Amino acid sequence: MNQHILWVEKYRPQTIEDCILNDGLKKTFQEFVNRKEIPNLLLCGTAGVGKTTVARALCNEVGCDFMIINGSDERGIDTLRTKIKNYASTISLTGGRKVIILDEADYLTPEAQAGLRGAIEEFSDNCSFIFTCNFKARLIDALHSRCSVVDFTLKADEKLVMASQMFRRLTNILNEEGIGY
């Protein structure tokens, strides 16, 4: 069965240490892991920089129950009223906090975003929210103000270092899979 797993999932980093990040971001996220605490986060940056992977790795390492909702697929107020409220209003089976990852949150409707403002406050004792987006300006100010904003934008000198790390990761995957290159 393992032979049918998509490589993007098979090789997705499971810890912050395994994520390819600049030193500042890695340190920030590792502090959350060390404290076993995930605040409300807004992770923003271009597509493919690792926002969703970091969100999942944080939850895995801290040991939180989490649910992922794709904001471009489930973007309306009905998702908030049903899925999000039902999940956030219940306690975790493991006894810890719960996390809702709203992937591609910049595609949520304005009504859904406004409703999330209240949900963040209502469920703050039980649940944290992680929003990922490519365009943070598409999110309402009320969400920005309730989250720690983490920008994944790289400086010019970091791009070469990150590309080198990614190249090493890709060659390791190809070697492990026995693929010539």
Crossing angle between the packed helical segments 23-35 and 51-62, to the nearest 10 degrees:
30
Burial class of residue 60 (count of CB atoms within 10 Å of its CB; 0-12, 13-18, 19+): middle
Rounded Cα distance, 109 and 75, in Å: 6
Task: Select from 85, 93, 26 the least CA-distant residue to 61.
Answer: 26
- Residues 19 and 31: their CA atoms lie apart, in Å, by 14
The confidence score (pLDDT) of residue 180 equals: 93
Q: What is the DSSP letter of 22?
A: -
Q: 3-state DSSP call for residue 132? A: strand
Contact 105, 131 (CB under 8 A): yes
Enumerate residue ranges in the chain where pLDDT < 50.
Answer: 1
First to last CA, the chain: 25
Reduced to 3 states (helix: H, G, I; strand: E, B; else coil), residue 100 is: strand
Dist. CA 81–CA 150, nearest whole Å: 27
What ranges in the chain are assigned the alpha helix state H? 7-10, 23-35, 51-62, 77-79, 85-88, 110-122, 141-145, 156-177
Residues 92 and 98: their CA atoms lie apart, in Å, by: 6
Q: Where would I find the H helices in 2-46?
A: 7-10, 23-35
**Residue 1: what pLDDT?**
47
This prediction has a pTM of 0.90
pLDDT at residue 25, rounded to an integer: 94
Amino acid at 86: N
**pLDDT at residue 51, as a whole number:** 96
